[in-house]
Amino acid sequence: MTADTTTTIDPHLDHLVYAVPDLIAGVAAFAERTGVTPVAGGRHPGGTANYLVGLGPTAYLEIIGPDPEAEPGTRPRAFGLETLREPRLAAWAVHPADIDAAARQARENGYDPGDVQPLSRRTPDGTLLEWRLTRRDDPAAVRPVPFLIDWGRTPHPAASGLPQLGLDVFTAVHPDPAALRRDLTAVGARLDVAEGPETVLRAVLSTPLGLVTLS
């Protein structure tokens, strides 16, 4: 099944980030809506954990929330989780051929993607996965400009036999589409953008239960 709207999906799309205030409840709700049960990805330093669903051979959807096994008092600040009340499509990532060159070029073109930093998580079987990504201080609830990621020698999560869904549509709404398009161009990313009062990322998934929209 395909969506009625034809959009351009960036060929370098790495993953979408769907933030939920309660990880276990969020995964259960997602499985009920889509008919596909995400698999546990692992735990991150800083108090978050994730579940994953594939979006083809080179991309995936990450459902991220507070780690239910984190130490009491841990404050998961990533993607606004500390104050999040409702699930939202919060961010996305692209994988350039050379992350350092892409970050440098973005700055030269007027957009600072943040420094390239290492990150890691433990899979449920204890395997340590390590990668590099750009991180910047950004209080926005929704980040329509993708961060950059480089998996290095770590196998890409999409290649690990994830349950699969189709990504039919991925778009953004933004109060200033021209400004957003400039920033997208600076990082070498492609995303269809429409004008609207609030910043929103929107993905339409093709699932066993029909089309499901996340925003």
Spatial CA neighbour of 138 closest among 168, 113, 163: 113
Q: Which domain holds residue 122?
A: 13-161
Number of structural domains (the chain) is 1
In a domain, 30, yes or no: yes
Asked whether the beta carbons of 172 and 202 are under 8 A apart, the reply is: yes
Mean pLDDT, consecutive 10-residue stretches, the chain (215 aa), reads: 60 97 97 98 90 97 94 81 93 97 97 95 88 88 96 92 97 98 98 97 98 98
In a domain, 97, yes or no: yes
Asked whether the beta carbons of 63 and 26 are under 8 A apart, the reply is: yes
Identify the pLDDT of residue 6.
53
In a domain, 195, yes or no: no
Identify the pLDDT of residue 208.
98
In a domain, 184, yes or no: no
In a domain, 101, yes or no: yes
In a domain, 198, yes or no: no
In a domain, 138, yes or no: yes
Asked whether the beta carbons of 44 and 52 are under 8 A apart, the reply is: no
Residue 22 tokens, joined: 């309660």
Which amino acid type is present at position 206?
S
Q: Which residue's entry shows tokens 């021209």?
A: 178
pTM of the model: 0.93
Q: How far does the chain reach from its first CA to its final CA, in angstroms?
A: 20
In a domain, 211, yes or no: no
Residue 67's domain is classified under what CATH number?
3.10.180.10
